[in-house]
Amino acid sequence: MRALLAVADMRQFARLAVEQLQALGAHGTQLAWTLAPERGPVALHCWPPGPVDPALPALLAGARTCEIRSGTGACQGELDWACLLVDDGRQRAFVSSRRHGERSASPPMQSLRQDTIGVLALRCESLLQAERLRGEVERLGHAERVQRALYAISECATSDRDLPDVLHEMHDIVGRLMYARNFFIVHYRTEPETMRFLYFADSLDRNRRDPEEVVDAALLEGSLTLAMLRHGQPLHGHGDDLRERLHLPRSDRVGPASVDWLGVPMLENGEVRGAVVVQSYDPAIAYSDEDQALLAYLAQNIGAALARRETAVDLERRVSERTLALREEIAERQRGERLQALLFRIAEVAGEAGSMASFYKTIHGIVGELLDARNFFICILSEDGSQLTYPFIADDYHEQVPPRPRGRSLSDYVLRHGRPVLLDLARATALRDAGELEWLGTPAASWLGVPLKIDERVFGLIAVQSYRQGFRYGERDKELLSFVAAHIANAFERRRTAESLRQANQQLEHVSRTDPLTGLHNRRYLANQIPIDLNFYERERARTGLDDKRLVFAIVDIDHFKRINDSHGHAAGDRALQVFGAVLAGLVQTGDYVVRWGGEEFLLVFRPMPGDAVPALGERIRRRVAERVYEVADDIALPLNCSIGLAEYPILGDTGHELGWERAVELADAALYWVKNHGRDGWAILRPTPDADPAELLASLRAGSQSLLASPQLRIVSSHAGK
């Protein structure tokens, strides 16, 4: 029996347990167990390996844990006896024995001592719980690795390194999280329809792809990649199945057939600009929905990186063209050099992390170095095209202009026609008299406005004007401002792209710290937040000199939760958890928070409070839960009760910091265990006695809940006092 208590692995425990029972004469014994994972089907394990007797479910139907049932009767076949060891809704374990021939293979059931079965059940339950916790730790570790990879992809995409180096590193990052030995990135254009393989790695396809070669799409008819690019949607499945579904002919020019093929398009303003593809030739390797999500995030970042580089190339090309034109006149040479520097400055400011107000001010300064921009404004068109806003204005007569609907102002005239407009007062007056314009504000002697465009889509304008009589902007000014406006539009788009990526990263961070079912915080959030809370507590205690307040941890467990799942289904159970979590969230104030601890357990962390306030807190939680009726389905409303375990931190005042906050949570868990064993629907607080010894208390904590509850170092304060 000591050997059973010493093992830490469920399979080793099953082997030893079967040997123990065989030593008692049960030679046909088998121990089986199940674990319900976070995702995927429930797995059945057993020792010795082999099929579980099909009569076992019927024999154990309605059985209590540790209840030994005889297999007598025709329906039980070769079963001699069976016993349910563990059943907590998420994990089960049972032991059975088979008879051989007419004679039972086991001694009478009475020879199986109840305490032996009880020890087996307790040890089996603790090992299954440990197995589940190990799986949870592994899942959280994987989530953290994915989060680090997403940050690495985002950082890599925004770097200034050469594109081949960036794509190679992204391949390495993806390869750490999923099978990516066969991986390629393709660039796509529709007019004319061409493809360019920017990055290509494949274990079977020996055709080397030149990243600079532009391939006519007609040469790749029958390609899954081309079909996906034309449809603009992710594609996943067996290569042959996908070809049959899409009616694609087989061609030797599109590479070997894959067992599993996954591709995600790269989008830019809703247009397909390329794709990222992975494929497997190994039947044992297939891709998951999580792999597709990771590949989609990678495609988004690669698309953003390509767009930035295309913008930079386009900028260099335009600057070069303009510089060559200006070199024709020596008098314009310095102006051209200054223009080039300012255009690069526009590109730089697009990537800076400052505010939009600072960005607008910098743009004004750049335009002012090229022409008279004393009176200057930026106008932006709303997404639905119904309203104009003026985020920046510098004017002799107007400090600001409020948002307004579309009309017939000079700004509307530019947006309506989508081209630069140069007007003097006489021309503007003629347009007004013809009904084309309406004056807004003081008429300018000369006015020049240029639209801001991305892919021929007008989203705003920049304008300069002068009120000085005799001053006129010229055609050269119009050309210059139009040229600069193209780069300003690209800068606007880069700022918007950067903001979208920032929001996406914030969303990913939020998701990684949130429980998906209840929307509450999860354990990862607690691990990050609790050090902050403890530091704040120490600073406040040092500042105020008050030691009578402590942090409070409360573990809340729904009583008889398994009955909801058994009676109404898991969907009702999930709904009950959601509503229950919302009730607990309504109990906390600023500085407090609720964490989904696991299963039907929740952990609440409360700001420091006096010790005499903790019992009232426990009772407030209990009453608030009991007062609510929980709608778990459209026509099902149930009352719920809960059990609450509470503990304070520091556990032993000034000397208790060596017992970390985790120990306080263990105390709360032990208090919860006490309430569960004393009728439920109540609360309990575990507190050290006045003369408690830290070393002995720590030893009790390490020994588990039973030792804690029996420890003379602790006392219990409970709503069940006297029960």
Q: Which domains does the chain have, with CATH numbers?
A: 2-134 (3.30.450.80), 163-308 (3.30.450.40), 327-500 (3.30.450.40), 523-718 (3.30.70.270)
Q: How far apart are the two ends of the chain, measured CA to CA in Å?
A: 35
CA distances from 133 to 35, 126, 703 (A): 11, 11, 18
Q: Are 643 and 675 a contacting pair, CB within 8 Å?
A: yes
Contacts of 237 (CB under 8 A, 6+ apart): 245, 260, 261
640, 559 Cβ separation under 8 angstroms: yes
> CB 132: neighbour CB atoms within 10 A?
19
State both tokens at 54.
Answer: 């099909």
State how far the Cα of 26 lies from the Cα of 23, in Å rounded to an integer. 7
- Cα separation, 634 vs 572, whole angstroms: 10
Dihedral of CA atoms 204, 205, 208, 210 in degrees, nearest 10, equals: -120
Burial class (CB in 10 A: 0-12, 13-18, 19+), 614: buried
Q: How far apart are CA 490 and CA 487, in angstroms?
A: 5
Beta bridge partners of 684: 645, 718
Q: Give the pLDDT confidence score for residue 354 in this predicted structure.
A: 67
> What is the 8-class DSSP label of residue 562?
H
CA distance 573 to 457: 50
The model's pTM: 0.39
625 strand-pairing partners: none
Q: Choose among 323, 276, 325: nearest CA to 296.
A: 276
Closest CA to 343 of 377, 314, 373: 314
Strand ranges, E, within 365-476: 375-381, 387-394, 404-405, 421-424, 446-454, 457-466
Integer Cα distance of 45 and 158 in angstroms? 48
State the residue for tokens 């006392």. 715
Rounded to whole angstroms, the Cα distance separating 524 from 166 reads 31
* Nearest partner of 263 among 302, 282, 291, judged by Cα: 291
- Asked whether 405 and 515 are in contact (CB, 8 A), the reply is no
Q: Give the DSSP H or E segment for 163.
A: helix 163-175
User: What angle (nearest 5°) sits at the alpha carbon of residue 189, between those of residues 186 and 195?
Assistant: 40
Helix 561-568 to helix 570-585 angle (10° resolution) is 140
* Contact between 439 and 423 (Cβ < 8 Å): no
CB count within 10 Å of CB 305 equals 20
**Could you tell me the CA-to-CA distances from 596 to 114, 133, 555, 600, 605 in Å, in that order?**
36, 15, 10, 8, 12
Question: What is the model's pLDDT at position 456?
Answer: 82
Between helices 163-175 and 289-326, what is the axis angle to 10°? 170
**Category of 5 on φ-ψ map: left (φ > 0), alpha (ψ -120 to 50) or beta:** alpha
Residues 6+ apart with CB under 8 A from 544: none
Exposed e or buried b per residue across 149-164, where buried means at least 16 C-beta atoms within 10 angstroms of its C-beta: bbeebbebbeeeeeee
What DSSP string describes 312-360? HHHHHHHHHHHHHHHTTSGGGHHHHHHHHHHHHHHHHHHH--S-HHHHH
pLDDT the model gives residue 105: 44
Rg for the chain, CA atoms, rounded: 36
From the number of C-beta atoms within 10 Å of its C-beta (0-12, 13-18, 19+), residue 397 rates as exposed
Alpha carbons 651 and 695: distance in angstroms, whole number: 12
CA distance 303 to 267: 7
Contact between 659 and 650 under an 8 Å Cβ cutoff? The reply is yes
Residues in the chain, pLDDT under 70: 1, 36-42, 72-77, 100-114, 137-143, 157, 252-253, 313, 325-344, 346-354, 499-512, 545-546, 653-658, 704-707, 721-723
User: Which H or E element spans position 138?
Assistant: helix 114-157
What local confidence, expressed as pLDDT, does residue 74 receive? 44
